[in-house]
Amino acid sequence: METVALSDEALIAKARQGDRDAFGTLVTRYQAQAILVAQSVLRNLELAKDASQNAFAKAYFGLGRFREEAKFKTWLFRIVVNEAKDVYRKEKARGLFQFWSAPASTEEETESILEVIPSGGESPRDAYETKEVRGRLEGAIYSLPERERDVFILRYLNGLAISEVAETLGMAAGTVKAHLAQGTTKLKSILLARNVQGGEYHG
Partner 1 sequence: MFKEVSIMDNESLPPELEEMLSKVRLKEPPKEAMADYLSGVNAKIDRGPVGTNFGFPQVGILLLVGLAFAFGIIYLFGLNPKKEPIQLIPQVQSERINPPAPELVTGQTAVVSQTPQPASGELSLEDQMALLETFGEETGSTTIEFFGNDELLDEVALLDSVEFSAFEGVQTSTAAV
Q: Report the interface residues with partner 1, using CB under 8 A.
A: 20, 24, 27-28, 31-33, 35-36, 39-40, 45, 48-49, 53-54, 56-58, 60-61, 86, 89-90, 93-94, 97, 111-117, 119, 130, 133-134, 137, 156-159, 161-162, 177, 180-181, 184, 187-188, 191, 200-203
Query: CB 62 → partner 1: shortest distance, Å?
Result: 9
Q: Are 91 and 38 in contact (CB under 8 A)?
A: no
Q: Is 160 helix (H, G, I), strand (E, B) or coil?
A: coil
Query: What is the chain's length?
Result: 203
Query: CB 67 → partner 1: shortest distance, Å?
Result: 20
Q: Are 188 and 181 in contact (CB under 8 A)?
A: no
Query: CB 104 → partner 1: shortest distance, Å?
Result: 21
**Among 132, 135, 134, 45, CA closest to 84:** 45
Nearer to partner 1, 157 or 171 (CB): 157
Nearer to partner 1, 13 or 200 (CB): 200
Nearer to partner 1, 84 or 187 (CB): 187
Q: Residue 122: what are its φ and ψ, rounded to 5°? A: -95, 130
Query: CB 155 → partner 1: shortest distance, Å?
Result: 8
Q: Residue 156: what are its φ and ψ, rounded to 5°? A: -95, -25
Q: Are 166 and 172 in contact (CB under 8 A)?
A: yes
